[in-house]
Chains A and B, each alone.
Chain A
Amino acid sequence: ICVFKIPGREIPIVHRVIDRHDSPETGEQKLLTKGDNNNGDDRQIYQELYINRQMMWIEPKDIVGRVQGFLPYLGMFTIYMTDYPLLKYALLGGVGLVVFIYE
């Protein structure tokens, strides 16, 4: 399962590689990915932008990383902060208050 970015799209996609064609002499490697819950492969996603309309494969240069493991719910803190800005201000305000009172 790898993390890759399509040129022109800023959000990376985390999907599983289902096809792989290597050519070590030319150094090229073609990969096709697919989300586990999708019926078809990711070509529709590769070709969403007009500049990529003929893109059939991704290559190692598009890959940003690889999934190594799971740490569930660790990101919930950041998600709550972004979804409820009031929480962010309350937390910062509370930290400021504590600094003022105890120093």
Chain B
Amino acid sequence: MNSLQNRANAVMAFSISAIFCLLGAIAFSALIIPSSPTGAVALDSIKVVTGRYDKNWQDFKTRNSEFANTIMRIDADLSSLFHWNTKQLFVYAVAEYSTPTHPKNQIVLWDTIIKRKSDAVISKRGLNNKYSLIDVNKKWTDVNANVSLHWNIVPYVGFMTYGHSKASEGYAFPLPSGIQT
């Protein structure tokens, strides 16, 4: 007993258990921190254009796919989500709608990564959607979509958590010729 090997073994085992207890405490304590994030997305304008190409869109087969170009405004205060276990926040705006062929659709319009609490208050106007807004059937006839802000807290250690704001009221998509349905 009390040889160097026994002592080294005991120290290693204890430190590894202590480290894992600390990581567990951080991971589980982060789940019960109260937070009060607020956020809202609103669409100021929607225009539908037909074409073959759009930002980053890679399905070139259809000549007249209908792409919706939106101008958004986003207001959010997510600073209460930053605690000791927050590495970064991934915030994204989602448009949700249903069509006769697919009752549930969700498309991400815009996203950003927030790394500091001081950057967590978002107030943006005149934002274009970062990614193509196009339906599976490539047509926007008779579609009503609501938009909401979602966030994902990326932790240092522990569980990925998600949250979202309330959905906005529905927006009807105009026809490509500009007539509002």
User: SS class of chain A's interface: helix, strand, loop or mixed?
Assistant: mixed
Whether A39 contacts B56 in the complex (CB less than 8 A), given A21-B136, A70-B158, comes out as: yes
Q: Are A20 and B158 within 8 A (Cβ)?
A: no
Whether A22 contacts B105 in the complex (CB less than 8 A), given A69-B27, A70-B155, comes out as: yes
A70 cross-chain contacts in B, Cβ below 8 A = 87, 154-158, 160
Whether A67 sits at the interface, judged by CB under 8 Å, is yes
Q: State the Cβ distance, A24 to closest chain B Cβ, in Å.
A: 6
Pick from B58, B106, B152, B157: contact of A20, CB below 8 A. Answer: B106
Q: Are A19 and B106 within 8 A (Cβ)?
A: yes
Whether A88 sits at the interface, judged by CB under 8 Å, is no
Size band of the interface chain A makes with B: 20 to 34
Q: Are B103 and A23 within 8 A (Cβ)?
A: yes
Whether A44 sits at the interface, judged by CB under 8 Å, is yes
Q: Are A22 and B131 within 8 A (Cβ)?
A: no
Q: Are A1 and B23 within 8 A (Cβ)?
A: no
Residue of B nearest to A57 (CB): B136
B residues in contact (CB < 8 Å) with A: 23, 27, 56, 58-59, 87, 90, 92, 101-108, 111, 113, 131, 135-136, 152, 154-160
